[in-house]
Amino acid sequence: MSQKIMAINSGSSSLKFQLFSMPEEELLVKCLFERIGLGQGLTFTYTYQGVKEKMAIAGNTHADAVAYLLDFLLAKEIVADLKEIVAVGHRVAHGGETFQSASLIEEAELQQIEALSPLAPLHNPVNAMGIKAFQKALPHCRQVAVFDTSFHQTMAAKNYIYPIPYKYYEEDGIRRYGFHGTSHAYVAQEAAKHLNKDLADLKIITCHLGNGASLCGIANGESVITSMGFTPLAGLMMGTRCGDIDPSILPFLQKNKGLSSEDIDRMINHESGLLGVSEISSDFRDVMEGDVSQYDGNPELAVDIFTTKVKQTIGSYAAELGGLDVLIFTAGLGENSYEIRRDSCQGLEFLGLEIDPEKNFTNQLIISTENSKIPVMVVPTNEELMIVRDTFEILGA
Positions that interact with ligand ADP (CB under 6 A): 210-212, 239, 283-285, 331-333, 336-337
Active site residue 390: no
Instruction: Please identify the residue of the shown chain whose CB is closest to the bound ligand ADP.
Output: 332
Q: Residue 177 and residue 147: Cα distance in Å, rounded?
A: 11
Shortest reach from residue 362's CB to ligand ADP, in Å: 13
Shortest reach from residue 369's CB to ligand ADP, in Å: 23
Please tell me which residue in 64, 148, 325, 390 is annotated as part of the active site.
148
Q: Coil, strand, or helix at residue 84? A: helix
Q: Coil, strand, or helix at residue 328? A: strand
Q: Residue 2 and residue 22: Cα distance in Å, rounded?
A: 5
Question: Between residues 178 and 210, which has the closer beta carbon with respect to ligand ADP?
Answer: 210
Question: Between residues 95 and 210, which has the closer beta carbon with respect to ligand ADP?
Answer: 210
Shortest reach from residue 136's CB to ligand ADP, in Å: 29
How far is residue 165 from each of residues 135, 158, 162, 176, 296, measured CA to CA in Å?
41, 14, 8, 14, 43
How far is residue 236 from each of residues 74, 82, 110, 351, measured CA to CA in Å?
44, 43, 32, 21
Omega before residue 299 within 30° of 0, cis: no
The dihedral formed by the CA atoms of 322, 324, 325 and 329, expressed in degrees to the nearest 10: 150
Question: Between residues 189 and 211, which has the closer beta carbon with respect to ligand ADP?
Answer: 211
Shortest reach from residue 154's CB to ligand ADP, in Å: 24
Question: Between residues 150 and 281, which has the closer beta carbon with respect to ligand ADP?
Answer: 281
Active site residues: 148
